[in-house]
């Protein structure tokens, strides 16, 4: 697929340039953020920057299984330049510097990195088509499968190619990507050779279904040295998904279903057929006429687990590159072998302030499988294979305050009440608090 995208780039570049007569140079900077300089025939150069300071305290790490209490501070700085020419050419360079202090055992894999190219890609736009080649962020849909990974310090970027067709509210993306492996030195990040992602992602907005929209996607995924409850080995997975989402008359919904097929070549179990699936929903209703505009919400998820380690099938769902805050900002659990039900209440006391409370109840989908935790995509919680089904419940409180001028404050509180599945593995309750200040220009 990568070769086909390179060929498409060459074909786009060979097309004649659009007419310049109707172009207004000042329109090149319309609706742009940051500092935009317009020049030439509707050409532009835009500069952006973002800073984030985030502190976290978790007591204890990983439910106390192999971890103790931890307090840390994360520092993130991003600065970018975006050059767009009337010929359809675009070049983006985003530099990032990341630091961490306080974590027990030293920085994690996505905590710290000296100055490096977070994004660096060349693009070409022609009518409804565009192509990007290089290092780029690539979130899709509601970030259940491919996300920005914004909670951890270093956001997720990929090396590769992305071709896009856009027609009104409809869109099609073809991708061939490898995630970036972050290293602590300067300009030393590289594409991860043990992970690959490719496929197609389409967003459809048929008039007959308005205001509802659909995402339909097929994604191929390869991961070397993958680890599940049944063993470790190489994973080759195909994911076919459908997302149904929209808003109407106070209601909002975001429902997604996905099936996975493939194979797992692992030890000691040998080759296994992958037969996994998930259904995830997030529905809500806003009482717009009430004070503080309350939104009553309900999230419900099922992600398949492995029923029998000896039947030649691996049924554990893999969320690929999900957002770390899938269930809460504490990022305690991964969406695998899991059933959860989470009612939520969101309030807006002021236009610039939002407060959300939620209570999430969690079970294992299959008792024979493990409890899976972060980091992405999943990790077996030691001692949880074959434990009880009830994982526990967590209470969260999230606060967002926009200060103006691109600044924002966040405060997240989470308490996890460990259930039998965690306690039988030797774990216990968890308390988590995080605060963050962010600014973008």
Sign of CA dihedral 145, 186, 45, 29: positive
- Counting the structural domains of the chain, the total is 1
- For the CA atoms of 163, 166, 172, 177, what is the dihedral angle to 10 degrees? 30
Match 């926009």 to its residue by tokens: 402
Whether 336 contacts 316, CB under 8 Å: yes
Q: What is the pLDDT of residue 360?
A: 98
Query: Lowest-pLDDT range, 19-33, 74-88, 104-118, 191-205?
Result: 19-33
Per-residue pLDDT band for 105 (boundaries 50, 70, 90) equals confident
Give tens-digit pLDDT for 34-58: 699 998 878 999 999 999 999 999 9
Exposed/middle/buried for 440, CB within 10 Å: 0-12, 13-18, 19+?
middle
- What share of the chain has pLDDT > 90, as a percent? 85
| Residue 303 banded pLDDT, cuts 50, 70, 90 | very high
Q: Does 399 score more than 90 pLDDT?
A: yes
The band of 377, judged by pLDDT with boundaries at 50, 70 and 90, is: confident
What size, in residues, is the chain? 441
- Whether the CB-CB separation of 236 and 222 falls below 8 Å is answered with yes
Confidence band for 33, pLDDT divided at 50, 70 and 90: low
Residue 27 confidence (pLDDT):
63
**Mean pLDDT confidence for 310-320:** 95
CATH code of 89's domain: 2.40.160.100
Q: Are 43 and 84 in contact (CB under 8 A)?
A: yes
Average pLDDT on 226-248 reads 96
pLDDT greater than 70 at residue 380: yes
Q: Which whole number is the average pLDDT over 164-177?
A: 96
| Torsion angles phi and psi, residue 2, rounded to 5 | -60, -40
CA angle in degrees (0–180, nearest 5) for 285-288-292? 100
Mean pLDDT of the residues in the chain:
92
The predicted-structure confidence for 329-367, as pLDDT tens digits, reads as follows 999 999 999 999 999 999 999 999 999 999 999 999 999
Q: What pLDDT was estimated at residue 9?
A: 45
Contact indicator for 160, 2 with CB cutoff of 8 Å: yes
What confidence tier does 407 reach under pLDDT thresholds 50, 70, 90?
Answer: very high
The neighbouring-strand residues paired with 82 are: 46, 92
- The answer to whether residue 78 scores a pLDDT higher than 60 is yes
Domain that holds residue 23: 2-440
pLDDT higher than 50, residue 6: no
Nearest to 258 by CA among 146, 176, 95, 341: 146
């Amino acid at each position: 697929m990568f070769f086909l995208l390179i060929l498409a780039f060459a074909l786009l570049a060979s097309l004649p340039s659009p007419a310049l007569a109707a172009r207004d140079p000042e329109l090149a900077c319309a609706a742009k953020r940051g500092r935009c300089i317009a020049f030439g025939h509707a050409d532009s150069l835009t500069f952006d920057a973002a800073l984030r300071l985030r502190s976290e305290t978790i007591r204890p790490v990983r439910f106390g299984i192999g971890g103790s209490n931890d307090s840390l501070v994360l520092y993130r700085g991003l600065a970018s330049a975006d050059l767009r020419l009337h010929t359809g050419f675009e070049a983006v360079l985003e530099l990032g510097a990341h630091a961490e202090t306080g974590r027990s055992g030293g920085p994690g894999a996505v905590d710290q990195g000296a100055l490096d190219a977070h994004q660096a890609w060349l693009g070409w736009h022609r009518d409804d088509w565009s192509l990007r080649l290089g290092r780029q962020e690539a979130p899709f849909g509601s970030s259940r499968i491919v996300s920005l990974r914004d909670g951890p310090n270093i956001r997720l970027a990929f090396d590769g190619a992305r071709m896009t067709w856009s027609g009104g509210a409809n869109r099609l993306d073809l991708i061939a990507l490898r995630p970036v492996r972050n290293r602590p030195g300067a300009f030393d990040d590289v594409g991860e050779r043990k992970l690959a992602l490719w496929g197609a992602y389409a967003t459809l907005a048929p008039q007959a279904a308005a205001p509802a929209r659909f995402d339909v996607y097929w994604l191929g995924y390869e991961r070397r040295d993958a680890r599940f409850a049944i063993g470790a080995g190489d994973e080759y997975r195909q994911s076919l998904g459908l997302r149904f989402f929209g808003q109407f008359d106070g209601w909002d919904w975001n429902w997604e279903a996905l099936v996975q097929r493939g194979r797992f070549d692992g030890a000691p179990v040998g080759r296994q057929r992958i037969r996994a699936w998930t259904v995830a929903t997030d529905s809500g209703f806003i009482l717009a006429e009430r004070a503080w505009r309350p939104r009553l919400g309900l999230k419900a998820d099922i992600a398949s687990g492995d029923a029998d380690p000896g039947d030649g099938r691996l049924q554990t769902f893999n969320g690929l590159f999900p957002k770390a805050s899938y269930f809460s900002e504490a990022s305690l659990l991964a969406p695998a072998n899991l059933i959860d039900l989470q009612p939520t209440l969101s309030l807006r006391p002021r236009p610039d302030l939002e407060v959300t409370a939620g209570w999430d109840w969690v079970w294992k989908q299959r008792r024979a499988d493990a409890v899976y935790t972060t980091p992405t995509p999943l990790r077996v919680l030691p001692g949880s294979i074959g434990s009880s089904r009830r994982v526990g419940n967590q209470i969260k409180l999230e606060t967002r305050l926009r200060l103006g001028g691109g600044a924002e404050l966040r405060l997240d509180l989470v308490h996890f009440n460990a259930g039998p599945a965690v306690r039988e593995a030797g774990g216990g309750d968890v308390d988590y608090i995080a605060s963050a200040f962010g600014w973008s220009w």
